Structure 1
Amino acid sequence: MATVALRSIQGKWVMACTIMASAMAFIDATALNVILPSLQQHLKASGPDLFWILNAYLLMLASLILIGGTLGDRLGRKKIFMIGIFIFILGSAACGFSPNAAFLIIFRVIQGIGGALMIPGSLSLISSSIDEKERGKAIGTWSAATTLVTMGGPALGGALADAGLWRYIFFINVPIGVIALFFLAAKVREIKDEDNNKKLDFPGALSIALGLALLTFGFLRLPAVGFNHIQGYGPITAGVLLLLTFILIERKSSQPMMPLNLFSNIIFSGTNLLTFFLYAGLGAGMLFLSLNMVQVQGYTQLESGLTFLPFTIFMVVNARFAGSLADRYGPRLFLIAGPFLAGTGLLLLSYIRQTKGPSDYWTTFLPGILVFGFGMSLTVAPLTAAVMGSVSDHFTGTASGINNAVSRIAGVFANAVFGSMAVLLFSTALQNGISEISLNPQQKQVVIAQAANLGNARVPAGLSPVQEKEVAAAYHSGFIDAYGKIMKVSAGLGFLASLMALIFIRSEKIKKKKGPASAGPV
């Protein structure tokens, strides 16, 4: 009885600390897109800089998250969780003090390392600290609490950015993290697997991190240097070779971070392909939607943040209900319909041209956001259930980690490829848009060079008032044209994710798991 009581008391402290730690990561993720316009303006960041600010964190998370889970099992879940929180708040504080975009990118790498050690620890601590009979309820509570906290991320980010306090999105992590560390140290005992002798796959982690970094660099350099320059094709080629090397390392390793034999399961492969396409479309769609609203449509950053509330409310209200229905009827139908609806929502959003601002929101952006949000809310819990149910119980932790990593890699892919594509599309639209404006060749070159700044493109000095007005109009229409095409490609990725479910997923071959499904990749 004393042991049960001890586990119960410790379980409550574990719940509180894991919710606080997860809240830091979730608020950062949801608020960052909203504060990007302020960040770009204050740090004088270019378009590629913005994508690196997003990717630096995601790269570290994608390549090290599986290593983070293994370290927790071997060295102690509480210890690695606390180290992750400490590194994360250290990186967050440094991000807040960043004097320019280059320093912010470096400090985001530190945040990503902390996140890779911290994020796997949340659910593993809950699973190992809380009695089996209460574990499902605890995971459900964790999921609901972190989702509610996440709802405030965009609104908080927008409010702080409008007040000129965007740096506090990073600073807010420091007190939350310090409180979590204090209670972990004082109230939670160490937990580790004494018989876990799994070796760390550092060659695999290094090859995938460098491969993704080089691919990202190559794609983001393409708009500036072109396809025929060594800075374009060189890093892309090297990145592809390193990713192929990663596959060879994993195939030969006795303790791989990503066991390739799991992909021989057609449902596991199909769900991860679905995750990749869906989260690539989701990442690109939400990023460019936010940039369009603030930089072109005239929304404040707070108003932009509030526009995502319907999406989040759908996730809170529908996700658990969809998970329950998927348990009863199987996830296949939901994984076909959900991504298809998400893609339809992105397609609706792609047709929006210049609006009158927030007063037009209800008839312009809201319908697409509602359809998009409803589709995602039908997808996340059934997707988790399908991933976990496609493998034996022995591999559920590994399967969850791989699915999380795939969602991060999808984000890196989206930011790199779509960032490059957006600059190229914007440049092409600008060339057409300024063809009728009386500018000399040098002025045209300066105007088009601003395409690298996307929606933050500034009219060059030295133009007449009439020219300034015409160039500003060309910037607006050119960005909206590029935005529409990016959103259509994002919608296509949603439809492709739906097709993956149609082809690969069979509900009768998926095992049912007890307890609530988590809300998709964390």
Structure 2
Amino acid sequence: MTRVALILSIIGSIAIIITGNAVLLLLGRALQGLSAAIIMPTTIAMINDYFEGEERQKALSYWSIGSFGGTGLASFFAGAIATFTSWQMIFVMSIIGAIIALFLIKSLPEQHKEKQQNTPFDYVGLVIFVLMIGSISFVITQGNKIGWSNIITIILAATFVISIVIFIAVEKRKAIPFMDLTLFKNRSYVGAVVSNCLLNTGVGVIALINIYAQAGHGLSGFSAGLITLPYLIALLLVVRLGEKSIKKFGAKRAMVFGPICTGFGVLLMSITFIDSTFYIILTLIATIFFGAGTGFFATPALSTAVSTTASEKIGVASGIFKMGSTLGGAFGIAIITSIYTGLSVAGYSVHLAASVSFIVGTCLIGSAIVVSTLVLPNTGREQNTNSSYTTNEEPVK
């Protein structure tokens, strides 16, 4: 499945590069989205198959470096591409990366699983879920443009609420549901998924840094991207520290401390009323806190989601976990940039608009602190294996 995902990524990138046709452009992006949706849970499941105990946590740390580090690198990379070459180079590099990945996994042995009886796919659950996510996404991104009291906005908001109720009711009755809701009986897993989703709203902060640095301080796309490099460096340096903290303090402390550090960094960015030179220096410092907090959080969160889930459900569990990351990032970008755009269009200065947007970002990330504190159980040091598992809250001691 990982190979299929990489091939889909290559096909999608080629479709985007070679055409100016809007249909093929959207098709290429859809294929890339499908590729990402497949590759996230399958690679985590591979780590679960090939590694055990402390080696698994180490492997998950490197996976986190690739996942979160890629997000941080994207900001700098996109700025450099936009400044010095054409946008198509983004997808050329994507093709090269996919080919390298195919080469690296070509000799890996397949971990053959016991074949399960063929069961029909839950298309009903999929359609309801897409309707649910699509409706709330439209409300968040377009509500300010068409009006919050507009009948369309109200209908879509109601659709979102109704879809949630119907989705839960339908999925509970399915033998093989689109989303395995029994996973959410595990408090550790719920805490990891929700806090991870909320922390990933910080992707919207990264997007806003680039927008505001160019609009408010006259920087080029490349220079704006450079401001986020400390975020990437700090994240890469601290990820392994987060992994080691699991053994000493347990995952919960790391999952509380990480968002505190990240939120503090975003709060520093909201001080937009100072001189341009001082603000850029402050932002460089802020991105260090932002990256360090994210890096410290990454492995404990992923390890908690994986280590407290039955081994046969790792693929589904990791898929939901990474779907939470993706949705968090998408909603973070939509909410934070929409607030910035709405205030700017309303006649407020870009500095005030950015300050308010960063404060909102701080509140979103702060919600991850609350979830980690209240939802995650106090279990001390995390278990290193999946072998002892119950459907309640934590592995059997």
**TM-score higher than 0.5 here?**
yes
Structure ID, larger Rg = 1
2: CA distance, partners of 1:147 / 1:248:
34
Structure 2 residue 348 is matched with structure 1 residue 495: no
Q: Is the contact made by 1:218 and 1:234 (CA closer than 8 Å) also made in structure 2?
A: no
1:234–1:104 Cα change, 3 Å: farther
* Aligned residue among 304, 318, 322 for 1:400: 318
* Aligned residue among 372, 375, 395 for 2:293: 375
Structure 2 residue 247 is matched with structure 1 residue 327: yes
1:269–1:178 Cα change, 3 Å: closer
1: CA distance, partners of 2:169 / 2:132:
13
- Residue 237 of structure 2 is matched in structure 1 by 317
2: CA distance, partners of 1:144 / 1:228:
43
Shift of 1:142: 5.4
Shift of 1:127: 4.7
For residues 226-249 of structure 1, the C-alpha deviation after alignment (integer angstroms, 9 at most, x for no partner) is: 123333223332233233322222
Q: Is the contact made by 1:271 and 1:383 (CA closer than 8 Å) also made in structure 2?
A: yes
SS at match of 2:273: coil
Q: Is the contact made by 2:208 and 2:337 (CA closer than 8 Å) also made in structure 1?
A: no
- Residue 31 of structure 1 is matched in structure 2 by none
2: CA distance, partners of 1:161 / 1:252:
49
Q: Give the AA of the match of 1:480.
A: H
Shift of 1:196: 2.4
- Residue 27 of structure 1 is matched in structure 2 by none
The 5 Å alignment of 1:98-117 reads 99=20, 104-117=25-38
1: CA distance, partners of 2:44 / 2:189:
21
1:397–1:107 Cα change, 3 Å: closer
Shift of 1:492: 0.9
Structure 2 residue 339 is matched with structure 1 residue 421: yes
- Mean CA deviation greater in 252-261 or 264-273: 264-273
1: CA distance, partners of 2:104 / 2:71:
22
Unaligned stretches of 5+ in structure 2?
A: 387-397
Q: Give the AA of the match of 1:265.
A: N
- Residue 354 of structure 2 is matched in structure 1 by 483
- What is the percentage of aligned positions where both structures have the same residue? 22
Q: Is the contact made by 2:262 and 2:290 (CA closer than 8 Å) also made in structure 1?
A: yes
Q: Is the contact made by 1:277 and 1:410 (CA closer than 8 Å) also made in structure 2?
A: yes
2: CA distance, partners of 1:145 / 1:493:
24
Q: RMSD across aligned C-alpha pairs, in angstroms? A: 3.1
1: CA distance, partners of 2:203 / 2:332:
6
- Residue 9 of structure 2 is matched in structure 1 by 88
- Residue 236 of structure 1 is matched in structure 2 by 157
TM-score normalised by the chain length of structure 2: 0.84
2: CA distance, partners of 1:362 / 1:296:
11
- Residue 213 of structure 1 is matched in structure 2 by 134
1:377–1:286 Cα change, 3 Å: same
Aligned length: 384
1: CA distance, partners of 2:302 / 2:322:
10
1:400–1:161 Cα change, 3 Å: same
Q: Give the AA of the match of 1:497.
A: A
* Aligned residue among 203, 206, 221 for 1:283: 203
Shift of 1:325: 1.5
- Residue 445 of structure 1 is matched in structure 2 by none
TM-score normalised by the chain length of structure 1: 0.65
Structure 2 residue 95 is matched with structure 1 residue 177: no
1: CA distance, partners of 2:99 / 2:319:
26
Unaligned stretches of 5+ in structure 1?
A: 1-79, 434-477, 516-522
2: CA distance, partners of 1:229 / 1:161:
37
- Residue 295 of structure 1 is matched in structure 2 by 215
1:353–1:99 Cα change, 3 Å: farther
SS at match of 1:296: helix
2: CA distance, partners of 1:267 / 1:183:
33
SS at match of 1:113: helix
Q: Give the AA of the match of 1:385.
A: S
1:172–1:369 Cα change, 3 Å: same
